[in-house]
Chain A
Amino acid sequence: MNAPREPIIAANNLTKRFDAVVAVDGLTFTVERGEIFGLVGPDGAGKTATMRMLAGVMAPDAGSIVIDGVDVVSDPETSKQHISYMPQRFGLYEDLTVDENIRFYADLFEVPAQAREQRTERLLAASGMGQFRSRLAGQLSGGMKQKLGLTCALVHTPQLLLLDEPTTGVDPVSRRDFWRILYGLRDEGVTIVISTAYLDEAERCNRLALLNSGRVLYCDTPAALKARMPGALVIITSTAGREVRETIAHLAGVSNVMLVGDGVHAVVDDAPLRIPELREALRRANIAVTDIVVGEPSIEDVFVALIAGEGRAP
């Protein structure tokens, strides 16, 4: 069962209902060993329910999950030995110190005393929390709490790490530290499944499943997902954003025109054809434009375009 090419997670037709609401609607995906896999989508997309089922703490209504050859649905306890699961609200004891929290989880996971100290040192150093060991967890900032949660989740050596929205409400500097730790773990061979509502974060994953309303829109690498973007993203830099938008919004082949701080973003069906047309239309309307270039779409651009395409599909 442990052949290297075997995916570490195989989820098949996973379904979860809460009363009338179908939170997870026939999800199928695999996660390869040693990758960082993202479950990416807005609130209500089914990320947390999926995570809970992967962690074996909630049973699906239908479908199967096999982790490392073990059927999680029928045998949740066996797979838990190699999994570390960090829920959105990780159970830190606010009235205990950083050190005491780590010790508590080390006891819970039965980590041998020797391995414990070494591992704790390394994790605290990596997260930049070394000097806060005797601070009460309740007095840490949001970002530091998340890093402490991660440290606690990693105090035993899991093969698979499940992180449910670990960076929600965390500032960019802490978020970078957090990802640096994740890349370090990946280098050690740990497989990571991470959920996030921030679509820009998806770019940091090796592969991701883009979720919406409990279903997988697409599952691929960030680069391949961007390649699926229908048309091209055009970035128009101008101080007269509104005028630009009014002028181009109804031109042929132009859609999704959006004001940003420095001008306008739009999607065109055919960049080499449309950019000269845009230039000409703006020149005729006498609108000064600094630059019109094709930009790399963000995952959010792709998401919005794919959702719009879905809506139109028969």
Chain B
Amino acid sequence: MTSALTSAAGPQSGDQIIVEDLVKRFGGFVAVDHVSFRVGRGEIMGFLGPNGAGKSTIIRILCGLLRPSGGRVLVAGIDVANDPERVRERIGYMSQKFSLYRDLTVEENLKFFGGIYGVPRSDLAERMRFAIDMAGLGGREKALVATLAGGWQQRLALGCAVLHRPPILFLDEPTSGVEPTSRRRFWDLIHTLAADGVTVLVSTHYMDEAEYCHRAALINQGRLIAVGSPEELKRSALGGELLLLESASLGPVLAALQQAPGVLDCSVFGNALHVLVDDAAQALQALPAFLEQRGLQPVRLQRIRPSLEDAFVQLIAVDMAKRRAAA
């Protein structure tokens, strides 16, 4: 299953990020273990994985900050190992902490980052205007960053990251803690940039963010274990179909279902149970009778679409089981 997902086709031509058989060792520790993937021009790729999976190590290699131990990495057609400086001119980077100067104004921050990224003086005013308009910061140019709400700071950080028109953008958990309306606005900006041809790699460990991506790559313990569109991942990762079961007596129902035919997994979710079955249509027929025989009654039983988080957790579990079996 995993290999089928890993081969899911992304755009074939104009790939802006090409990673082939990438390996990174720190002493005896293998942080990145033969990872290969490609990201096409204008594509938004999500980069998912638990803490410590190796996501930020890979991003640092892509940015030219760390040298790979093996394999090949091309960013904007440039081999990162040979020419990290030229790569850095072509990328924008926005970190989780939005490295903005809180005691400077919006305008001063933009000027500062314009200097760092080497935006020519003659272009700076025009680029700042672009960033301010794109981020919806008009009228706030003289505001101190410290006085802006999280969503505004986030958009300013994005504005700073694209000042030098990078064709490739790395976003490291960009939206944590931002209120939902701002967050949606932020993703709208990302989609606009992507539509203009900017390639975006977003790392996150929150699955609802991955829903906004065209494709997502899942990393666990240094290995890439799945790649696909959110829909593909949800459809194929679970190895079964998901039901939601509501009942007044969750505990006994949970215990009974562990023994029920066709039930692969069962867990508590709020006021209900999530039941993974091999065949939803069959289970919808059979489970109510199975429970009634045991004096239990489901209040409601229905098929639900799995979330990306369901898919993610399942893929990780399968990967961990494989590793244990191999060990």
Judged by a CB distance under 8 angstroms, whether A229 is at the interface is no
Closest residue on chain A to residue B195 by CB atoms: A242
Taking a contact as CB atoms under 8 Å apart, the answer to whether A174 and B50 are in contact is: yes
Judged by a CB distance under 8 angstroms, whether B281 is at the interface is no
Taking a contact as CB atoms under 8 Å apart, the answer to whether A259 and B231 are in contact is: no
Pairs across A and B, CB under 8 Å, 8 listed: A168-B176, A200-B307, A237-B231, A261-B46, A298-B208, A300-B208, A304-B181, A307-B180
Tell me the minimal C-beta distance from B303 to chain A in angstroms.
11
- Measured CA separation A199–B206 after assembly (Å): 11
A172-B207 CB under 8 A given contacts A199-B180, A204-B270, A242-B195? yes
108-151 of chain A: CB within 8 A of chain B = 141-143
A172-B205 CB under 8 A given contacts A143-B50, A223-B271? yes
The contact size tier of chain A is: 35 or more
- Measured CA separation A222–B270 after assembly (Å): 9
Interface residues of B (CB under 8 A from A): 44, 46, 49-52, 149-150, 176-181, 184, 187-188, 191, 195, 205-208, 210-216, 229-231, 251, 267-271, 304-305, 307, 309, 312-313, 316
Closest residue on chain B to residue A142 by CB atoms: B51
Tell me the minimal C-beta distance from B150 to chain A in angstroms.
6
Taking a contact as CB atoms under 8 Å apart, the answer to whether A173 and B50 are in contact is: yes
Taking a contact as CB atoms under 8 Å apart, the answer to whether A42 and B179 are in contact is: yes
- Measured CA separation A259–B185 after assembly (Å): 10
Taking a contact as CB atoms under 8 Å apart, the answer to whether B316 and A173 are in contact is: yes
- Measured CA separation A88–B137 after assembly (Å): 31
260-290 of chain A: CB within 8 A of chain B = 260-262
Taking a contact as CB atoms under 8 Å apart, the answer to whether A261 and B188 are in contact is: no
- Lowest 3 CB-CB distances: which A-B pairs, in order? A42-B179, A171-B50, A183-B268
Q: B residues within 8 A CB of A169?
A: 51, 176
Taking a contact as CB atoms under 8 Å apart, the answer to whether B271 and A206 are in contact is: yes
Closest residue on chain B to residue A143 by CB atoms: B51
Tell me the minimal C-beta distance from B290 to chain A in angstroms.
22
Taking a contact as CB atoms under 8 Å apart, the answer to whether A172 and B51 are in contact is: no
Q: A residues within 8 A CB of B187?
A: 258-259
